[in-house]
Amino acid sequence: MVSRQLLKPVITDVMFKGMHFIIMDSPAADTVQTFAKLLLRKECSRLRVSDVIRVCEDKYPIEPFEKVGIKVHHWEFEDGSFPPDDILEKWFELLRLRFYGPKKTPSGDGNGNDNSHPGSVAVHCLAGYGRAPVLVAVALMELGMSNQEAIELIRSKRKGAFNDRQVESLRNYRARNRLRKNLHQCIHPLIQHPSAEYLESPVNFGPPELPTYTCGQGVNPGHPPTYAHCGHGCFNQYKLSCG
């Protein structure tokens, strides 16, 4: 019989600039029920997990998490590697939604907790020492932490995190402020436009340069929209149309 101690997830708690991350190991098919209950209701109720990001192969059913109001996202990528761009974009989009969007609490909470609390997002790979902490480290960098500080912080909390290949990728990673809280509001007046609409989907603009704005639709119905971005390094993306 599996002991109660072995059923508990090995949790690492990381908080920075209002975002709350949980790094953990993967549950197995016979332990997923306990994982879900611990993450939401028992030992870790203070963590208020809204989402679980699974970046390894599928080894358990997601229904036990869904029953307690936790959404599971399956974003698998190669073991021991750095996440590809499409995974990073989904990761940043989820974090902006959960921490900067309308406040939401997992529906299965039911314990009288403060529903205004943004909660936390959990990430796991198989053992929780490679792919999962890499995603959290990249988020810390996009929030303004230096590359080396992010690596050292996570390693201080989760001994043995990252392999040499991942450390090298993290050291070379160039953050682009993609988790700045007011990402849809450029801080540079030069490119502000009253009818600018922030684009969730990235558009490839090439090297940053000062954009020239024109009306995206004008008086011509069917005139294609004009896309532009901030040339000061914000990498904000806008679709312009008539106000």
Q: What is the separation, in whole angstroms, between the first and last Cα of the chain? A: 66
Closest CA to 212 of 177, 184, 238: 238
125 among known catalytic residues: yes
DSSP code string of 50-86: EEEEE-S---S-SHHHHHTT-EEEE----TTSPPPHH
79 among known catalytic residues: yes
User: Which is catalytic among the residues 58, 79, 86, 242?
Assistant: 79
What one-letter code names the amino acid at 132? A
Closest CA to 70 of 127, 109, 103: 109
C-alpha to C-alpha distance for 33 and 124, rounded to whole angstroms: 16
Alpha helix (H) residue ranges in 48-204: 63-67, 85-100, 131-142, 147-157, 164-172
User: Which is catalytic among the residues 44, 125, 186, 230?
Assistant: 125
Positions marked catalytic: 79, 125
